Amino acid sequence: MSREKIQVPGKVYEELVALQREIHFTQDHQDTIKKAEDRGYMNASNWIRQNENAYKIGFAWGFEPIADEPQGTLRDVPSRQAPAPKRTISRPTPPPTKKAQKPAGSGGIIAGIKNWLGKYF
C-alpha cells in the first residue's frame, strides 16, 4: 500500500478541510461525524460514515479532491440588480399657519420697563 492521499469528492474535501480547521481530528470517527453534523458539514459526515477505513487512512496521510472536480474556485456571484424604486407617499403641503400676534406693547421685559417708565416719568 502506497502513502498517497485519499481522494474524496470536491464538496467533501472542502468540508473536511473546514472541519480540520475547526476541530482537532480524532480517530474516533463517530465523534468526528457528530461534530461535522453539528457544524452543518453533511457531505463530510455522510462520506465518513460510508468510508470509515478510508477516513482513518486519510486522517494519517491526508485528503485530496478528485482531480476532475474543480476545487477552491469562486462561486458565481449573481450580477447586481437595479435598485428597487423608492416608494414614497406624496403628502400635500399644509396650508400656511398664521402666527399668533402678540398684543401691542408686549415686547418683553425691557419693553415693559420702558412702558412703565414712560407712564410715571
Q: Is 75 exposed, middle or buried (0-12, 13-18, 19+ CB in 10 A)?
A: exposed
The continuous run of DSSP H or E covering 66 comes out as: none
> What value, to the nearest 5°, has the Cα angle with vertex 43 and ends 34 and 69?
150
The pLDDT of residue 75 is: 60
Q: Is the pLDDT of residue 71 over 60?
A: no
Residue whose C-alpha cell reads 465523534 in the numeric block:
31
pLDDT digits 0-9 by tens, 5-35:
888 888 888 888 888 888 876 677 788 888 8
The pLDDT of residue 87 is: 75
Contact 66, 5 (CB under 8 A): no
Q: Is the pLDDT of residue 46 over 80?
A: yes
The pLDDT of residue 108 is: 81
Task: Report the C-alpha gap between 14 and 9 in whole angstroms.
Answer: 9
Locate 77 and state its grid cell: 456571484
When pLDDT is cut at 50, 70 and 90, the band that residue 77 belongs to is low
Q: Is the pLDDT of residue 76 over 80?
A: no
Residue whose C-alpha cell reads 477516513 in the numeric block:
55
Helix 29-38 / helix 52-61 crossing angle, nearest 10 deg:
90
